[in-house]
Amino acid sequence: MVQPKTLILSAVLAIGLTGLTGIALAEDQHGSVPERQSWSFGGPFGTFDQAQLQRGFKVYREVCSNCHGLSKVAFRNLAEEGGPGFTEAQVKALAAEYKVKDGPNDQGEMFERAGRASDRFPSPFPNPEAARASLGAIPPDMSLLAKARSYPRGTPLFLADPILQYQEHGVDYIYALLNGYSKKDDPNWNDYFPGNKIGMPNPLADGQVDYTDGTPATVKQYAKDVSAFLMWTAEPKLEERKKTGFRVIAFLILLAGLTYLTKRKIWANVAH
């Protein structure tokens, strides 16, 4: 028979140990811990900032897309609700600027044509090996990157995050990474990359991308905007999810109230 005391003690010990390994991992392999940023899409009522998504897309297009694919995103997604809010005409014009591989034609040959709104973003390299041959490392596809990356929070934070609605680990990491080139004499040093040796030299510099809306053209701002854009590509239905969640909770509260009133009514004339 296991005593309840022993059980509680082992549980506390287990949680403590997980926490310690979490912290040890955070320090050993994971570089510095990214600082938490404030995002318009954070929290239970978060929404994307359309202007920010448009700027972030510009940064992706002019800088990151030279190496990173966005293979799960179609041009027409850019005009969908809850996204950067481009018009359909803008999306059509944008798609037409890309060359897309199609086919085979009647002769059995693949051919290139101008992109259409329904096409997905063509990748900069035909396959990962070609990317490695030219860059020395494989640039991951960016479609889901903001959700595929995280960092250990340690105990008790990892337990608290779901309750406090912290879901922006991935974007915080990407933002930190883009600002993490701290050693001038080592272009492959990044404070936040696991192991600190990254195969991507600093992709951003002040003034590199033209912002037409008066937003400061700085690395920090580019990093913020492109990270937000990557959050949208990873979770294009984020706004819908948060809205639905709110409606469900509101409904449950209402239902709880009605149930209580019903109970009162049913039991009103029963001696108890």
Which chain residues interact with ligand HEC by CB under 6 A? 59, 63-64, 66-68, 135, 137-140, 145, 149, 174, 177-178, 198-200, 203-204, 226
If we measure between CA atoms, which residue out of 15, 131, 259 comes closest to residue 7? 15
In whole angstroms, how close is the CB of 102 to ligand HEC at the nearest point? 26
At a CB cut-off of 8 Å and minimum separation 6, what does 224 contact? 37, 52, 175
Distance CA 109, CA 79 (A): 32
Which helix H or strand E contains 68, and what residues bound it?
Answer: none
Q: Which of 151, 199, 141, 198 is nearest to 171 (CA)?
A: 151
Separation in Å, CA 248 to CA 46, 122, 163: 16, 39, 17
| First CA to last CA distance, the chain | 40
Rounded distance between C-alpha atoms, residue 94 and residue 88, angstroms? 10
144: tokens are 């889901």
Q: Are 228 and 49 in contact (CB under 8 A)?
A: yes
* Min dist. Cβ of residue 157 to ligand HEC (A): 20
Closer to ligand HEC by Cβ: residue 65 or 155: 65
The distance of closest approach from Cβ of residue 184 to ligand HEC in the complex, given in angstroms and rounded to an integer, is 19
Q: Between 91 and 145, whose beta carbon lies closer to ligand HEC?
A: 145
Q: Which is nearer to ligand HEC, 169 or 242 (CB)?
A: 169
Specify the residue, 220 or 263, whose C-beta has the smaller distance to ligand HEC: 220
**Minimum distance, C-beta of residue 234 to ligand HEC, in the bound complex (Å):** 11
CB of 64 to ligand HEC, least distance (A): 3
101 neighbors 122 (Cβ within 8 angstroms):
yes
* CB 251 to ligand HEC: min, Å: 38
Nearer to ligand HEC, 23 or 138 (CB): 138
Nearer to ligand HEC, 41 or 117 (CB): 41
